[in-house]
Amino acid sequence: MKDFQTNFLELAVQEKVLNFGTFTLKSGRVSPYFFNAGLFNSGASLSKLGTFYADALMNSGIEYDVIFGPAYKGIPLVSATAVALSSKHNKDVPYSFNRKEAKTHGEGGNIVGSSLKGKRVLIVDDVITAGTAIREAVEIIKKEGGEPVAVLIALDRQEKGKGEKSSIQEVEKQLGLKVCSIVSLDQVIEYLGTGTSSDPAIVERVKEYKATYGC
């Protein structure tokens, strides 16, 4: 595990973004852990989160021209990532995001920020659940003349969707996008198993969940 991944998990646990207990998911599955990126809700935590996204992006080796954040939660994430790419990695990357409702006055349109036309676009979001938000983002990008190439998210739960594959694997296969994440469930398990405050009961429950629903 890379340092930025350990640091990300430390912050996620500290801010209770990554929480352990009993949670019923939208899918109906009962999960021993829950990830809520909305709880990165202060300037300091958003700033750190931006550096973890930027580190993951640099580490991925993916090539792109513009980064794009789907409204709404993608907006602060893509902004913080762009700031961190500049301040930490000295990379000045154009970014943009969409409006959920089109603006009819002023400059109009759905996109705020850098133009996507003729550009390789990397989508920044928090999670992929069913893949609906990513499919919508792909449509928006194509409509603007861009070429969606990859997706960067915070956590890959590595679990089956309706079939044997995960929604992420479906997105990769059907949309031809590379999906990378700051961490995956395997790394959550690795992190939980190390350190002095490690709770074997939690590790066991998360491992059991992965054995049942993992892919």
Ligand X SMILES: O=P(O)(O)OC[C@H]1O[C@H](OP(=O)(O)OP(=O)(O)O)[C@H](O)[C@@H]1O
Minimal distance, residue 151 CB to ligand X, in Å:
10
Q: How far is CA 124 from CA 56, 60, 71, 106, in A?
A: 11, 13, 10, 27
Binding region for ligand X (CB under 6 A) out of 45-53, 119-127, 180-188, 205-213? 119-127
Does residue 126 interact with ligand X by CB under 6 A?
yes
Q: Is the Cβ of residue 74 or residue 146 nearer to ligand X in the bound state?
A: 74
Helix (H) or strand (E) holding 56: helix 43-60
Question: Of residues 96-115, which lie at the interface with ligand X (CB under 6 A)?
Answer: none
The distance of Cα 40 from the centroid of its chain, to the nearest Å, equals 13
Classify the C-alpha dihedral 140-84-37-213 as positive or negative: positive
**Pairwise CA distance, residues 65 & 123, whole Å:** 11
Strands 178-184 and 120-124: unpaired
Tell me which of 129, 147, 172, 175 binds ligand X, using CB under 6 A. 129
For 71, the 3-state DSSP assignment is: coil
User: 134 or 203, CB closer to ligand X?
Assistant: 134
Cβ closest to ligand X, residue 128 vs residue 203:
128
**Cβ distance to ligand X smaller for residue 5 or 166:** 166
Residue 103 is among the residues annotated as catalytic for this protein:
yes
Active-site annotation holds for 210: no
Question: Which active-site residues does the annotation give?
Answer: 103, 105
The contact set with ligand X (CB under 6 A) reads 70-73, 125-133
